[in-house]
Amino acid sequence: MQPIKLCLLWHQHQPYYRAGNEFLMPWAWLHATKDYLEMAEHLERHPAMRATINLVPSLVKQIEEYITPPPFQGGGASPTMRGVVDRVLDLMTKDAETLWRGDQTFMLDNFFLGHRATLIDRSNRFRELCEMASSHDREARFNVQDYRDLAVHYSLAWTGEIARMREPFKSLIEKDRGYSEEDKQALAHAQFENVRRIIPLHKELARRGQIELTTTPFYHPILPLLVDLQSAREAMPNVELPRAPFHAPDEADRQIRRARAFFEAKLGITPQGMWPSEGSLSQEVLALIRKNGFTWTASDEAVLAHTIAGSSAMIDGIALKPEHAKYFPWRATTHDGEIVVFFRDHGLSDDIGFTYQSWNSNDAVEHFVANILRIRSELIAAYGEDVMNEACISVILDGENCWEYYPRNGFEFLDKLYSALASTPEIHPATFSEVVASTKGEELPLLPRLVAGSWIDANFKIWIGHPEDNAAWDVLSAALDALVRERAHANTLQGTEREAALARVEAAHEELMIAEGSDWNWWYGDEHFSAQKDLFDELYRMHLREVYRALDLKIPEVLSVPIAGRFSQHAPAAKYGAMHPAAAVA
């Protein structure tokens, strides 16, 4: 009996929230204390399980900046931030007796952000504080002890379930109210130690061969759009593009190169696989990924369906049915050689990301495993058991966002899922590089020219086409033009003057790379909702202003005017937040 290979990839990502010396949003830290360590610990608890974890450099960089130097001073009753500042962390540890009115308002506005049913209501005291904060006279109702308890509960809410079983978390959770400043201090230090363990644990699991570590272009840009905005028309022929043309393959190449170098320097591992931001690929992007030394990449089944529509392929001498195409790695030809491309089953992936959060964990795991076994049976019936040599099911999704909506951060579900996958003889959990190494390349089907698309509906609608998106691309294009002009000018100079000018250009280029990230456009348009949408907008325009400031150029006035809401007065309400399910393949 030959098992079917199951490749599970958890994509770990946060946009770069740092502005100058301050983190304007705390999500990298909060997901670090709740998810990033815990996802690795789940695998550590199930040594027979194999998986792939994708770490985006913009996330790893922020984790490092939080812990180097340590964010909390030791020994004092009122630990304070050192190095990079995060106001949320500061207020989690600041003595409640010294809070000023602005601190209190900030806490009431920001310390209840999270899914209420799973993060807030599980504590009687936190639920009570949330209800108090909903009243019209909330400031009058909160006393010093309330703010002290709120600081502790917000940190505990964003704590992984495995950590919650350990001290000091366990005792603090049981206490539930009446926390002291010493309690806050102990919690802050424990959280710091957990965050400090994230990267070392990932490296250790990779050293054991239990996980494969992969990466993404540095600041998570939509690569096909960076290479050429016209690629959007491959999936969206009638899309309205920005006024300014944008064709910057060198920018896409730089994001890939920087990611690979950073990954090797910080994790001591040469990544073989690259998950492209939002699963976004095009034929030109495939070539860039292969050129930079990666042997495999991945996208969504709908991208594959668009690519092979009307064409045929063979597997083990038998014509491959279109509905089975996603269950095999494919070969793609580039100028620098072939690269293997996997295509995720977005039904299985979205079941974990969106469906199972409301299910009983036993039912969810049984459903998932039954689907894997059903696919295996279908493939064997169609092509014979030897097809298991090439067959592979790819399940790829965010590794942090969905757990907020699961009871207990998805602990029971993941614990039972890993146990079931590792103990079912017909299923072989594997890493993607393991599949590449064990499969003869010439036996894999050959991709025709890849049609550009992403893992959401196989197009780029979220990032381009809406007037807000297009306005964002226009100001990005103008900043790139200014950077190119200044670099050319700097190269005409001599000696120290040239060195100083090029240093300014490099500082500006870093800010531009941050602005190239996908997350700013995620919140433009009318697809997604966030209470912090205006802050995302401000961060985006701030990074572009920094491009001009670094170049010592006049900052365009348009960068002082919000993009968010400029064109959306009558737009429909956004349906999704930080996650978005894929549509079924037509």
Q: What are the tokens at 18? A: 């740092």
pLDDT at 544 over 60: yes
Quick: pLDDT tens for 342-377: 999 999 999 999 999 999 999 999 999 999 999 999
Report how far residue 268's alpha carbon sits from residue 91's, in angstroms, rounded to the nearest whole number. 35
Query: If pLDDT is split at 50, 70 and 90, which confidence band does 81 have?
Result: very low
Please compute the mean of the pLDDT values over residues 443-454 and round it to a whole number: 96
Q: What are the tokens at 459? A: 């197009």
pLDDT score for 205: 98
Boundaries of every domain in the chain:
18-207, 467-560
pLDDT at 331 over 70: yes
User: Which of 499, 474, 462 has the alpha carbon at shortest distance from 577?
Assistant: 462
CATH of 467-560, picked from 3.30.300, 1.10.150, 1.20.1430, 1.10.8, is: 1.20.1430
pLDDT score for 579: 62
pLDDT score for 320: 95
DSSP H helical ranges for 292-392: 301-308, 346-350, 361-383
Please compute the mean of the pLDDT values over residues 173-194 and round it to a whole number: 98
Please compute the mean of the pLDDT values over residues 204-217 and round it to a whole number: 98
pLDDT at 73 over 50: no
pLDDT score for 359: 98
pLDDT score for 573: 53
Of the CA atoms within 13 Å of residue 51, those in its CB half-sphere come to 28
Query: If pLDDT is split at 50, 70 and 90, which confidence band does 568 have?
Result: low
Quick: pLDDT tens for 83-142: 689 999 999 999 999 999 999 999 999 999 999 999 999 999 999 999 999 999 999 999
Report how far residue 343's alpha carbon sits from residue 438's, in angstroms, rounded to the nearest whole number. 18
User: Which of 148, 171, 202 has the alpha carbon at shortest distance from 32?
Assistant: 202
Strand 427-430 and strand 4-12: the pairing is: parallel
pLDDT at 586 over 80: no
Report how far residue 311's alpha carbon sits from residue 270's, in angstroms, rounded to the nearest whole number. 35
Burial of 203 (0-12, 13-18, 19+ CB in 10 A): middle
Q: Residues, the chain, total?
A: 586
* DSSP result, 534-576: HHHHHHHHHHHHHHHHHTT-PPPGGGGS--TTSS-TTPPPP-B
pLDDT score for 75: 37
